[in-house]
């Protein structure tokens, strides 16, 4: 069995996540069956992989809970239009957020709802 140490937000610790596929994670989505995922067998949460790269099984970030996953989506709804419109370069935007939160920001590395709320608050100020 292929395992990897990944931080799991549900367990609030590094876990031995198990490599699986979309057939297990999304049995109703045949289009995702061949994609790789890392799953925490303790809390059953999972994270996708950089499947379109030469490091196909590299996790996209930490393993989120459903609540953290939804919070991340809300952050993306706020920040993606900023860089997609060309108003601000994506790297500059992420650096601005990083400077204010005190750690190297990437949405996939948000580990708690408190972190998500702080990032959202900062991003909202930048978006204004």
- Please report how the helices 113-127 and 66-84 are oriented relative to each other, as an axis angle in degrees rounded to 10: 20
Q: Whole-model pTM?
A: 0.90
Structure tokens at 62: 């930490």
List, for residues 53-94, the tens digit of each pLDDT value. Answer: 999 999 999 999 999 999 999 999 999 999 999 999 999 999
Determine the pLDDT at residue 120. Answer: 97
Average pLDDT over residues 98-113: 95
Structure tokens that stand for 82 in this block: 């900023």
Q: Cα-atom radius of gyration of the chain, to the nearest Å? A: 16
Q: What is the DSSP letter of 128?
A: -
Q: Give the span between the Cα atoms of 128 and 82, in whole angstroms.
A: 10
**Which pLDDT band, with edges at 50, 70 and 90, does 1 fall under?**
confident
> Domain-by-domain residue ranges, the chain?
3-48, 66-127
pLDDT in tens, 61-72: 999 999 999 999
Find tokens 């061949």 and name the residue: 34
């Amino acid at each position: 069995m292929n395992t990897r140490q990944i931080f799991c937000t549900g367990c609030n610790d590094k876990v031995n996540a198990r490599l699986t596929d979309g057939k297990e994670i999304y049995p109703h989505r045949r289009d995702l069956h061949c994609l790789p995922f890392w799953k925490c067998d303790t809390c059953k949460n999972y994270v996708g992989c950089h499947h379109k790269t030469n490091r196909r099984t590299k996790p996209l970030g930490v393993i989120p809970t459903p609540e953290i996953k939804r919070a991340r989506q809300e952050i993306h709804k706020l920040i993606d239009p900023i860089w997609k419109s060309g108003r601000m370069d994506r790297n500059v935007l992420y650096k601005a957020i990083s400077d204010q939160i005190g750690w190297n920001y990437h949405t996939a590395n948000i580990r708690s709802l408190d972190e998500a709320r702080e990032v959202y608050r900062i991003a909202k100020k930048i978006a204004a």
